[in-house]
Amino acid sequence: MASVLLLALLVMFLTSFIKAACEIISCYFLTPRRIKKTMENQGVFGPKPRFLTGNILDMATLVSKHTSRDMDSISHDIVGRLLPHFLTWSQDYGKRFIYWNGIEPRMCLTETDLIKELLSKYSTKAGKSWLQQQGSKHFIGRGLLMANGDDWHHQRHIVAPAFTGDKLKGYAGYMVDCTRQMLQSLHDAVELGQTELEIGEYMSRLTAHIISRTEFDCSYDKGQQIFHLLTVLQRLCAQSSRHLCFPGSRFFPTKYNREIKSLKTEVERLLMEIIQSRKDCAEIGRGSSYGNDLLGMLLNEMRRKKSGNGFVISLRNMMQLIMDECKTFFFAGHETTALLLTWTVMLLATNPKWQEKVREEVNQLNMVINESLRLYPPASVLPRMAFEDFKLGDLHIPKGLSIWIPVLAIHHSEELWGKDVNEFNPNRFASKSFSPGRFIPFAAGPRNCVGQSFAMMEAKIILAMLITRFKFAISENYRHAPVIVLTVKPKYGVQIRLTPLSS
């Protein structure tokens, strides 16, 4: 009997081992070779990949070389600094080329008509890749930003009502109140003789305060704790994701992995306190709803699923999904808007004539914000992986190919925007008509950023209030050094000199 049981266990082990080995061989060797051959048959070539690491080391070397020094002047010609591999490979292989992010083949796509077709027509056939999801697993998990297919449709359906027009109108008062407090702190700092301020820190705290109040109804202090931890997690996950090309690397007890798991646990502990507090308030008050902000909508959906007949997701998994969604919107609702505001202040501080134009006619602020998003988009790239074969223009896109849209390079393309492409010129947005394929700071199509209206309204309110209270000029201590840590950031912040305007 024992020998039969032992034999059965051995067979199960061998079956599992063979299955795992076949999956590894397919994932790491057969599928990439198939994709490479398919694309080369269509005339799409690229740099030769190394075993397992692909072109990661080449990219890291080029980026490190070009970002090791600050820029000599405040120039907006930053593609060569932040995406030097794109310039090198597009010169060598043309507009379409393939490179390898570890074992993941990525095709660069800059043709605006094909980008528009991809983002509008194939939103269900292309989405986030396994490497992207694993790289952000402990950072923002499987929230809306990383979801695919039916999961994405379901999650989008839940969160979209939190960003409708009526909801946005209700948030405006909170945004004004929070901004007024920030402006007062700036005024107090100037009154105390502070000659220069790092505006990025103020914008980061302000957007943290706003998203905490409008979507999660939590305290400023707790929101700040979560944002700080997520910022550290962002940096660590970006560093750790470079090693995902090695089989099983995410399970190694490395320093990065230990720190990441520890920070993730702390973030989720804080989120559970916020969630439990909301649940307690609803249950003690015997209310029929957890509220109509983002957190309330997520909890109401959990209640609906729990009480429904077709409850197929466990309570534990649902709670993890809620926390992942909270992390996604805590981060996206804070980080990207804070960066948009910081870069816009830098641009206005170095272009005082546009400060005056906006003071005279605040409607021009929309053009200024769009120009800031063009020059310094929060996300420098927009990747999509094909989940099945499909036709894109004249190309056959094979299942498993990631399509890499270099947003920063497209926004700085002289062919698309003219010879003044690297100059700050908001007038280029005087006309409201521009192709979705050439200006994509919030992506486009069905998978566009669900919170873009929230972010734009927030940015307009904050900048309008700031520019009517202060004049500002760039400090001589400002060092222009854009870097990418998932998002495009000023390496040393943005130092400005403020002068209060007379009432």
Domain ranges of the chain: 30-500
The pLDDT value given to residue 235: 81
Of 14-28, 87-101, 253-267, 319-333, which has the strongest mean pLDDT?
87-101
Q: Has residue 416 got a pLDDT over 70?
A: yes
Chain mean pLDDT for the chain: 87
What architecture (CATH level 2) is domain 30-500? Answer: Orthogonal Bundle (1.10)
Instruction: Find how far residue 108's CA is from the centre of its chain.
Output: 19
Confidence of residue 452 (pLDDT cuts 50, 70, 90): very high
Pairing, β 402-405 against β 104-108:
parallel
| Half-sphere exposure for 61 (CA within 13 Å, toward CB) | 5
pLDDT tens figures, 91-108 = 999 989 999 988 889 999
**CA distances for 345 relative to 180, 451, 498, angstroms:** 17, 21, 11
The pLDDT of 13-20, averaged and rounded, is 62
Report the distance separating Cα 52 and Cα 50, nearest Å. Answer: 6
Q: Has residue 209 got a pLDDT over 80?
A: yes
What is the percentage of the chain residues whose pLDDT exceeds 90?
Answer: 51
449 is in an annotated binding site: yes
Q: Which run of H or E residues covers position 471?
A: strand 470-474
The pLDDT value given to residue 280: 81
The pLDDT of 259-285, averaged and rounded, is 84
Strand stretches in 43-175, DSSP E:
97-101, 104-108, 126-127
The pLDDT of 15-39, averaged and rounded, is 70
DSSP code per residue over 182-251? HHHHHHHHHHTT---EEHHHHHHHHHHHHHIIIII---HHHHHHHHHHHHHHHHHHHHHGGGTTSTTGGG
Of 128-137, 301-310, 443-452, 459-468, which has the strongest mean pLDDT?
459-468
Q: Has residue 311 got a pLDDT over 50?
A: no
Of 52-61, 195-204, 494-503, which has the strongest mean pLDDT?
195-204
Least confident of 338-342, 434-438, 457-461, 464-468: 434-438
Confidence of residue 374 (pLDDT cuts 50, 70, 90): very high
Can you say whether the dihedral through the CA atoms of 250, 328, 27, 31 is positive or negative? negative
Look at the pTM and tell me if it is higher than 0.85: yes
Residues in CB range of 276: below 8 A, 6 or more apart: none
Confidence of residue 259 (pLDDT cuts 50, 70, 90): confident
Q: Has residue 146 got a pLDDT over 60?
A: yes
pLDDT tens figures, 421-439 = 999 999 999 876 667 779 9
